[in-house]
Amino acid sequence: KKIVLLAALLAAFGAQAFEVGASVGRDFAGKDSNIVGAYVGQEFGKFDATVGFDRFGEKTDKADLYSANVGYNVLNVGKAKVVASVGFGELSPKVGKNGYAVLAGAGVEVPFTKNLAMTADYRFVDTRDVDVKAFRGGDVIVGLKASF
């Protein structure tokens, strides 16, 4: 419900391009674990705003991350874009209380076609909440993004 509401708010701004993406990655905080995620967003010139959902963990160490991020196209290298991003999120572990996190990262988008790109990102998740501190650390994520 949170993602649908935020996606509707982003769409209301009438931005240049609507984006949808899916990703997989590895979380290197505490116990290394896999990440699977999805997001929607809008481009506003050199800026973009996204909301996303990521599922961390395996077996009992699972948590969901609901996030909102703002990115900036720092540099173009040929057709590729180098993007820096910041955001915030709510971590919802399978066991324990929810906690909040600040997100910061950098990534590269390499287009395959006009509307399809591969993404590769590094993201740092910083949280001080005791119940979700095990998820504090770096993530490496790759994905596909479609723009409309």
pLDDT tens digits, 50-105: 999 999 877 666 889 999 999 999 999 999 999 999 999 999 988 888 999 999 99
| DSSP 8-class letter at 11 | H
Buried b (16+ CB within 10 A) or exposed e, 81-103: bebebebebbbbbeeeeebebeb
Pick from 126, 38, 54, 50: nearest CA to 93: 54
Q: Share the mean pLDDT of the chain.
A: 88
The pTM assigned to this predicted structure is 0.85
Percent of the chain with pLDDT over 70: 85
Contacts (Cβ under 8 Å, ≥6 apart) of 100? 88, 89, 90, 91, 127, 129
CA distance 141 to 139: 6
Predicted confidence (pLDDT) at residue 22 exceeds the cutoff of 90: yes
Predicted pLDDT of residue 56: 86
Predicted pLDDT of residue 88: 95
